[in-house]
């Protein structure tokens, strides 16, 4: 009998917003079976060796504007690994299909004839506001939420639709474009008194929440950095302390110690 080579596969795994105990049970199980794990800086990066004891690790992390490994390169390497018989895990922050390029990796694997499965993850779009005590929906306050990428400025039409929709607006990757987002939403008619929260480094020891009105958030958040989730809408007024220091809920950056 000729020896058949073991078929490799790819699993796209959502790693959640950072702490390892926010991985799903399925994500943790898949990691124990991984031969190689491609990871980046969001999602769980500590204790990876304990979570995936059999695996070798490849850091493909990107900081904004600073691509370490190109997306094409990541995909090509994963496909090569799977062709070689390995179980390749692509571990991503949050959910793989929320601004995570998971769809591209899935399509590339399918086109290459590699079996691919997806394990969903806890997305920062919902979890990080929650960590600051902000529910993205709330009875009689907001019955919808829209998740927007701040990677590039929106068009005038998009601002008008967003402002007209009501409900909660959640922005990821939005620190760099916050001034244009605020200007666009105000031009489109969103009230300047609308509350806004910027939640930085959710679930870390240095998590910080800055709250101000739409009219004042740009100056109030001048010290804020990615990763951060921006929440716009009346649900921000529901922010609860959740055991965080009261200083996490300052209304005005001028009161904030650096």
Instruction: Using CB under 6 A, list all residues that contact ligand SAH.
Output: 17-18, 42, 92-95, 98-100, 123-125, 128, 172-173, 201-203, 226-229
User: What is d(CA 162, CA 57) in angstroms, rounded to the nearest whole number?
Assistant: 40
Closest approach of Cβ 83 to ligand SAH, in Å? 26
Closest approach of Cβ 172 to ligand SAH, in Å? 4
* 205, 129 contact by CB (below 8 A): no
The closest alpha carbon to 128, from 225, 199, 32, 223, belongs to 199
Closest approach of Cβ 134 to ligand SAH, in Å? 12
Q: Which is nearer to ligand SAH, 80 or 180 (CB)?
A: 180
Q: Which is nearer to ligand SAH, 228 or 250 (CB)?
A: 228
The closest alpha carbon to 37, from 115, 109, 90, belongs to 90
Q: Which is nearer to ligand SAH, 59 or 189 (CB)?
A: 59
Phi, psi of 56 (to 5 degrees): -95, 160
100-127 burial code (b ≥16 CB/10 A, e <16) = bebeebbebbeebebebebbbbbbbbbb
Contacts 24+ apart (CB under 8 A), 165-168: 166/142, 167/137, 167/142, 167/143, 167/233, 168/136, 168/137, 168/142, 168/144, 168/231, 168/232, 168/233, 168/235
Closest approach of Cβ 32 to ligand SAH, in Å? 22
Q: What are the catalytic residues?
A: 40, 62, 173
Closest approach of Cβ 2 to ligand SAH, in Å? 43
DSSP 138: B
Residue nearest to ligand SAH (CB): 94
* 52, 21 contact by CB (below 8 A): no
Tell me how far the alpha carbon of residue 156 is from its chain's centroid. Answer: 25
Kindly state the tokens that stand for 176: 């760099």
């Amino acid at each position: 009998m000729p020896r058949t080579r073991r078929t490799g596969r790819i699993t796209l795994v959502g790693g959640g917003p950072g702490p390892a105990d926010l991985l799903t049970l399925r994500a943790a199980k898949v990691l124990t079976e991984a031969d190689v794990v491609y990871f980046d800086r969001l999602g769980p990066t500590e204790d990876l060796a304990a979570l995936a004891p059999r695996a070798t690790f490849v850091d493909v992390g990107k900081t904004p504007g600073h691509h370490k490994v190109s997306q094409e390169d990541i995909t090509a390497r994963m496909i090569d690994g799977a062709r070689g018989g390995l179980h390749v895990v692509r571990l991503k922050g949050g959910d793989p299909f929320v601004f995570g390029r998971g769809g591209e990796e899935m399509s590339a694997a399918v086109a290459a004839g590699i079996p691919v499965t997806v394990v969903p993850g806890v997305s920062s779009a919902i979890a990080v506001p929650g960590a600051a005590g902000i529910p993205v929906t709330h009875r009689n306050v907001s019955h919808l939420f829209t998740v927007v990428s701040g990677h590039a400025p929106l068009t005038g039409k998009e601002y008008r639709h967003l402002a007209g929709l009501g409900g909660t607006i959640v922005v990821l990757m939005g620190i760099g474009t916050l001034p244009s987002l605020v200007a666009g939403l105000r031009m489109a008619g969103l009230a300047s008194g609308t509350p806004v929260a910027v939640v930085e480094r959710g679930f870390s020891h240095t998590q910080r929440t800055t709250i101000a009105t739409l009219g004042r958030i740009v100056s109030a958040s001048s010290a804020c950095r990615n990763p951060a989730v921006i929440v716009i809408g009346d649900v921000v007024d529901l922010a609860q302390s959740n055991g965080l220091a009261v200083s996490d809920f300052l209304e005005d950056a001028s009161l904030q110690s650096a």
